[in-house]
Structure 1
Amino acid sequence: MQMNRKKTVNKITVFFLITMLGVSALQVNQLIGMAFAQSENWYVGKGVKPDTHYTYEIKNADTNQGQPFTMTIYFKEYNETGKYWVAPTFVVDQGKVINGTLYLSDLDLTALGTSPIPPEMTQYRSAYATTLTWLSAFVSKPGQSLSSPSWGKIAAIGGSEIRPSGSAKVTTPAGTFDTTAISYHKGVDNHIYVNKDMPYPVKAETFADVTSGKPPIQYAFELKATGIGQPPIPASQVQIPVPPLNIQTPRGTYNVQLLWEPVEIKAGNDTQFGAIFTDDKNNIVDRVTYGYKVMDGNRTVIDEFKNQRATEGIGQFTYKFDTQGEKYLQITLETATGENLGMFVESATFLLLVQ
């Protein structure tokens, strides 16, 4: 009787131990699975380290008519109290250097409104938000899996799904990187390339949403350089624009090419300008009327002229600048192929240097 009782107790003990081991193994497997899932997650800001810097070339349709500029971000230190990175940042745009300090949120590297930057850097902070950190709307900390079937939908009418679409080896001036392409389709394919160990995407090319014609680039960027330590801020260098200059209008419908002679624009002397108008397929647009504004370096209008004719797509005019310095010349299409453009503003603004 005593022996049978011992056998029963032993069986219960063995069963209990097996059950506990099974539960423990399940918990371990769950923990391993969670750890693996966490390791393959990515978010804007993952892998950032103090005393490192990144330089990008950026094109953004809403900044300087889509003309390229470079931005260098130095992650100096982490502010534990405010939960943000202190990041001295400088922009080089057509030789002009603008610098300030961005406070970048620990959650998704969003530039905080308290960042101490000069007014002239505001447009570049906006460009930063809509390019390098655009994905933060989908992958703030702790992020999403790089093998997930979907990251959500883009915020647009009929917005498509944005998702990892496969691996890609991407080469930029900073090197060659193993990446995952994050893609969505809206008229055309848009791709953003993410390396799992880097805080920002390595490269991107996305396009504006248009109802017809060839969509223009909404934004594009690529990593130019990365390194350890604070990079030196370069001195501003005067870059003298030379013809021809080409700018696409904001909707991507037309291109405006500006030429002038003499190439060296002198205050007090006449300068002969030519404007060539083409469509998104680079075909000459005939029966164009246009206007142009001359502005100073602060974009204050000095002169304005309307109803200029470019019957065969080529307009010509003469202008004399009274003073030296940076000037802006904005050319706006009023009609094209004889039709009024209505509510759409199709313009291109060119930076000139008068000597």
Structure 2
Amino acid sequence: MGLLLGTALLPSASAQFNSAGGVDKEGTWYVGEGLKKGDYFSYKMCHVDYKECAQFELDMWIKGDRQVGSETKWLAEVVVYDGNKVIVGEMELGKIAPEPTGGSESLGVYRGAFKSSIAWLSAFATADGSAGGKGPKAFSAASWGKIGNIGGEQVLPLALETVTVPSGTWDTVLIGWKTGGYSSKVWIVDEFPFPVKALTLTHVSEGIPPTEYKFELLDYKENVTSSPFEGIVSTADIFQAQGCETDFERTSSVKKPTKNFSYQVRAFYGPEDPVQGCEMQWLIEFISKYDDTEYLNQVQFDVLVVDDNLTPLRSLAQEEGRQYLYSPSGQHLIDMIVEEEPGTVNYVIWIYGLAPEGIAPSTATDYLKIPLTVYPADGSVIPDVQPTTAIPAWIKNNAGWWADGAIDDNSFVQGIQFLIKEGIMKIPPTAQGTGSSNEIPSWIKQNAAWWADGAIDDNSFVQGIQFLIKEGIMKISS
């Protein structure tokens, strides 16, 4: 596996810039220039359309030609290392423009990321311009073309730069364009098929634009005569051999405020019964505690496994080589392998705060703990863990009536206050707030409806009650 994207050195101080576009270098370039059988490439990369630019490694070996109808294409063997997953397959690359147009179904999202990043400049520079292609582009050209989807910004050869990436030090031509006032950059090498480095930004109308794609070349070899991927087994094949469920949906869900009520989280996960050694998937949504329809933006977070004292045992961000996970949109998809021992496992969504990537948040840190039962691979049963919160079952009727409008807010609050004060309903210690508002957020009533219907557990309902106490809407006298 290669180094992280952040480890590449900055361009040398001797870089030569030409602000008008075009550099003092003879010759032309196109995507795929010099590509040949036996070439091996390894990239660390990401694209915004795949998990909001979550990094993965893509290794590719040009095996030879493949005839597809009347067209001869390159056949590439590919291995992707994506977190704890290994994906093995093939890609077919065009020869005029080496964009992936076919191959293994399991590589679909990675083909898309490759086409929209490493091969992206093929929209401007191709091997042949006679059949509707763009043709090779001169380094000295004032412009290579315009990007229509961001208002016609010019793609320009900007400078000669020497850059260092994990694969070595390269003499490059910097290709760049402006994105909402910020610079996007791709570094190419004469007579080398693909760029060695890129950092580009999405177009936004205001604020700091998030990364669209970034990559760097980890390794390059030529004249590799036999597959470098011999013996590598895909994670999917391992799962199948272990009898893991692979065709599952994220049908289970949790919707709760965080511990200190700073945020609200809705998490969908599957399979419903996680199994040690098998795959598990999360879709995490960060939403406003005041409005269920409002997603939070620029969320810095992590998914942890913790012990009963909240001591971290595992960090998914660290497994990806990152300080934290990042969700610009407030929705984040996570694939993971369940490594934990069978029994109750405390998964924690830890929110560091809201801020652009690379900037320390000024908002509150908070977390949501989601205890789940992990089952052994041999199918044996784990005893149920009894809940620690004590709520008489008949209170669910009251919650259901309140959610249906048969009981008004004030009557429901007074009833719960009485039950807690008399010790009939027991909840964890909660600091009493002094707020003056009597308005109950809609998500608490929705939680009550779900609880009455058995869709969420007692602890989820109690978190809503704790929120009312902390906000001063419900007052519990000592």
Confirm or deny a common fold (TM above 0.5).
yes
Q: 1:251 to 1:108 in 2, by over 3 A?
A: farther
Query: Which of the residues 111, 124, 127 maps onto 1:138?
Result: 124
Say yes or no: does 1:214 pair with 2:203: no
1:1-355 alignment runs, 5 A limit: 40-79=27-66, 82-112=71-101, 115-118=102-105, 120-141=106-127, 142-186=135-179, 187-227=181-221, 228-229=223-224, 230-233=227-230, 234-235=232-233, 253-262=298-307, 263=313, 265-271=340-346, 273=348, 274-280=350-356, 281-285=359-363, 312-323=364-375
Q: 1:269 to 1:182 in 2, by over 3 A?
A: same
| Alignment TM-score, normalising by the size of structure 1 | 0.64
Partner Cα distance (1:259, 1:121) in 2: 28
Partner Cα distance (1:64, 1:138) in 2: 27
Q: 1:260 to 1:178 in 2, by over 3 A?
A: same
Q: Which runs of 5+ in 2 are unaligned?
A: 1-25, 128-134, 239-276, 278-283, 287-294, 308-312, 315-339, 378-440, 442-478
- Which structure has the greater CA radius of gyration? 1
Q: Which residue of 2 aligns with 1:308?
A: none
The CA deviation string for residues 198-229 of structure 1, in whole angstroms up to 9 with x for no partner, is 11111111012222332221111111111131
1:40 CA displacement: 1.2
Q: Is the 8 A contact 1:216 1:251 kept in 2?
A: no
Partner Cα distance (1:89, 1:99) in 2: 6
The CA deviation string for residues 170-225 of structure 1, in whole angstroms up to 9 with x for no partner, is 11111111110000011311110010111111111101222233222111111111
Q: Is the 8 A contact 1:65 1:248 kept in 2?
A: no
Q: 1:260 to 1:159 in 2, by over 3 A?
A: farther
**RMSD (CA atoms):** 2.9
Larger CA deviation: 92-101 vs 131-140: 92-101
Partner Cα distance (1:45, 1:251) in 2: 41
Partner Cα distance (1:87, 1:222) in 2: 19
Partner Cα distance (1:222, 1:137) in 2: 20
| Alignment TM-score, normalising by the size of structure 2 | 0.48
1:319 CA displacement: 1.9
Q: 1:272 to 1:163 in 2, by over 3 A?
A: closer
Q: Is the 8 A contact 1:72 1:90 kept in 2?
A: yes
1:84 CA displacement: 1.3
Larger CA deviation: 56-65 vs 270-279: 270-279
Work out the number of aligned pairs and report it.
252
The CA deviation string for residues 262-318 of structure 1, in whole angstroms up to 9 with x for no partner, is 226444315162433222232233xxxxxxxxxxxxxxxxxxxxxxxxxx4413333
Question: Percent identity of the aligned residues?
Answer: 26
1:257 CA displacement: 3.4
Q: 1:269 to 1:121 in 2, by over 3 A?
A: same
SS in structure 2 of the partner of residue 64 of structure 1: coil
1:136 CA displacement: 0.6
Q: Which has the higher strand share?
A: 1
Q: Is the 8 A contact 1:278 1:313 kept in 2?
A: no
Partner Cα distance (1:272, 1:84) in 2: 46
Q: Which runs of 5+ in 1 are unaligned?
A: 1-38, 241-246, 286-311, 326-339, 341-355
Q: 1:181 to 1:324 in 2, by over 3 A?
A: farther
Q: 1:97 to 1:270 in 2, by over 3 A?
A: closer
The CA deviation string for residues 101-159 of structure 1, in whole angstroms up to 9 with x for no partner, is 211111110112xx2303x3111011111111111111112311111100111122423
Partner Cα distance (2:210, 2:148) in 1: 19
SS in structure 2 of the partner of residue 102 of structure 1: strand
